[in-house]
Amino acid sequence: MVDLDWRVEAQAGVSLVELTVHNPGRTARRVRVANRLDGAVWPPRREGVAAAGWDDGGFEGVVAAGGRRALGYASPAAPTEPPAEVVWTERAGVAEPADRSALRATPDGVVRTLGAARPPADAVPRPTEPDPVPDAVESWLGALDDRSTAPTAAEREALEVVARRAGALADRSADERPSPGDSR
């Protein structure tokens, strides 16, 4: 027999479910945990594909002898208690890896194993700016652009100062341009 501990809370109209499946026995158990919420299961995803063991109704996987397995999912349904239940268990066969889908020759298994099909950022040429930009400015802006995190408050303030100053200089240079036919 396995035990199921759970916690559910609602945030922004979504129920977040945390589960722990405990197998106190001396043999590994295959378990099926079903969603009891009145809504879809939004399982954890890897590379855009539902994590191994998850389907529309819940989770199926192996819990090691004397082991625990943490699970979690979201649902657009209102929280109810309990949010999930163990619907069946059986003695597990030969010990299996945690991510069995990586061993399957299915499109989902291949995506999970290989990851996203995108080239490294350094391999993709950047479009060149039409106007010359000093190397120091290009380097600073490029470093900010390449990061996966948002600029800090100090960096945002510096960007705003640069934008205001560049705008003022552009306005001033536009005022000083000779009009066509002017012989200055």
For 104-125, write each residue's pLDDT tens digit: 567 776 666 666 666 666 677 7
More confident residue, 26 or 150: 26
Confidence at residue 181, expressed as pLDDT on a 0 to 100 scale: 59
- The domains of the chain are located at 3-114, 121-176
Beta-strand pair 14-22/3-11: antiparallel
Q: CA distances (Å), 98 to each of 22, 31, 103, 108, 183, in order?
A: 15, 13, 11, 15, 79
Contact 42, 23 (CB under 8 A): no
Contact 30, 94 (CB under 8 A): no
- Cβ-in-10-Å burial (0-12, 13-18, 19+) of 53 comes to buried
Residue 94: pLDDT band (50, 70, 90) is low
- Beta bridge partners, 73, equal 17
Interval 48-71: pLDDT, tens: 888 989 999 999 999 999 999 999
Residue 24: pLDDT band (50, 70, 90) is very high
Interval 73-87: pLDDT, tens: 999 999 999 999 999
First to last CA, the chain: 93
Q: CA distances (Å), 1 to each of 8, 22, 30, 87, 91, in order?
A: 23, 9, 11, 11, 10
The pTM of the full predicted model, rounded to 2 decimals, is 0.53
Where residue 47 falls (left for φ over 0; alpha for ψ -120 to 50; beta otherwise) is left
The answer to whether residue 159 scores a pLDDT higher than 70 is: yes
Domain made up of 3-114: CATH architecture: Sandwich (2.60)
Say which range, 13-22, 31-40, 53-62, 142-151, has the weakest mean pLDDT: 142-151
